[in-house]
Structure 1
Amino acid sequence: MGETAVHARLVDALIVYAEIELGQQSNLCLRNDAVRPVRGERPPRINGYVPDLYATDVPTTATLIGEAKTKADLETDHTRVQIQAFLDYLSQTPNGIFVLSVPLSATATARRLLSQLKAPFMDAQTRTVVIDRMRAVVC
């Protein structure tokens, strides 16, 4: 399976998680950065970066930003800066949730990365979650 197919599958997992966490699509404002977005709308640019998924419940009580990364992607400076930008944004919103979707082989790396990156935002109520094909783990 090519990297784009893997990435698409990881984004699909983000959408499923958002529906479970925030409610079904009729009560959900969901924007994903795909070739054909769910409702034709792409996520907003946040601190210079476009997330793979931006979702809020309706009426808005929580905001979820999701990012899909392969194992190789997790080890780049771009990913670190991008995730920090999303965590900074969510730290300023009530009930912020950051979800990182990764392949099963990258779960430990993703959890370690999120633990490091969320340290400056510990006063915020932002939840961070890593999902793989098997489970969702709150970090």
Structure 2
Amino acid sequence: MSVSSTHTFYVKELIKWLQQGNDGGLEYFIHCDISNLNLGNQPPRIDGFIPDVYAKARFGERIIIGEAKTLMDVESRHSKNQYISYLKHCSCFASSALLLAVPWTMVNCVKGLLKAIMRNNNIKSIDVIVLEYLPEQFSDLWDK
């Protein structure tokens, strides 16, 4: 499956968010599923899924699983199954978060979807962070 430029842009935004210390200034070991970004090893497989970004705090137990979803992928069955797996994985750690990069038009939708998934699966105490400023589509022309 080829990775769209929009998806790659979203993954870079997840990484930028982590590297800029937006999570209380914590520093992370970052693993990324996109090889040309040269960030650590591939993230660990979680229930058969590989997240786009997996970050472990340099100090402490906090982990963050980052996932980028394009407009057409936010509500897919595959994505919903990923959300469930990643949230359950996060619930095994004392301090963890699911970090999502989605188009700004889907922010409220994905927040509601994750809230329902957490309620239906009895998942508590997980931070859900959604980047709220991303365009629906990224054009390679923006880099030129």
Please report the TM-score for the alignment, with normalisation by the length of structure 2: 0.80
Which one-letter code corresponds to 1:68 in the other structure?
A: A
Alignment of 1:103 onto 2:115: no
The answer for the alignment partner of 1:53 in structure 2 is 53
Cα pair distance change 1:13/1:108, threshold 3 Å: same
- For residues 38 and 118 of structure 1, the distance between their equivalents in structure 2, rounded to whole angstroms, comes to 33
Cα pair distance change 1:40/1:91, threshold 3 Å: closer
Cα pair distance change 1:31/1:23, threshold 3 Å: farther
CA RMSD across the alignment? 1.9
Give how far 1:22 is off: 6.2
Q: Is the 8 A contact 1:18 1:64 kept in 2?
A: no
Equivalenced residues, count? 129
Q: Structure 1 segments of 4 or more deviating over 3 A?
A: none
Alignment of 1:21 onto 2:23: yes
- For residues 38 and 106 of structure 2, the distance between their equivalents in structure 1, rounded to whole angstroms, comes to 27
Relative to its length, the structure with more helix (as a share) is 1
**Cα deviations by residue, 1:12-56 (Å, 9 ceiling, x for unpaired):** 1111222221647xx421001113243341101011110000001
Q: Is the 8 A contact 1:47 1:85 kept in 2?
A: yes
Alignment of 1:43 onto 2:20: no
After TM superposition, list the pairs within 5 Å mapping 1:110-125 onto structure 2: 110-119=110-119, 120-122=121-123, 124-125=124-125
The answer for the alignment partner of 1:64 in structure 2 is 64
User: SS at the partner of 2:45?
Assistant: coil
**Cα deviations by residue, 1:80-130 (Å, 9 ceiling, x for unpaired):** 0111000001011111100111011211221121111121244x3211111
Q: Is the 8 A contact 1:22 1:56 kept in 2?
A: no
Which consecutive residues of structure 2, in runs of 5 or more, have no partner in the other structure? 135-144
Which consecutive residues of structure 1, in runs of 5 or more, have no partner in the other structure? 135-139
Which one-letter code corresponds to 2:67 in the other structure?
A: E
Larger Rg: 2
Which one-letter code corresponds to 1:85 in the other structure?
A: S
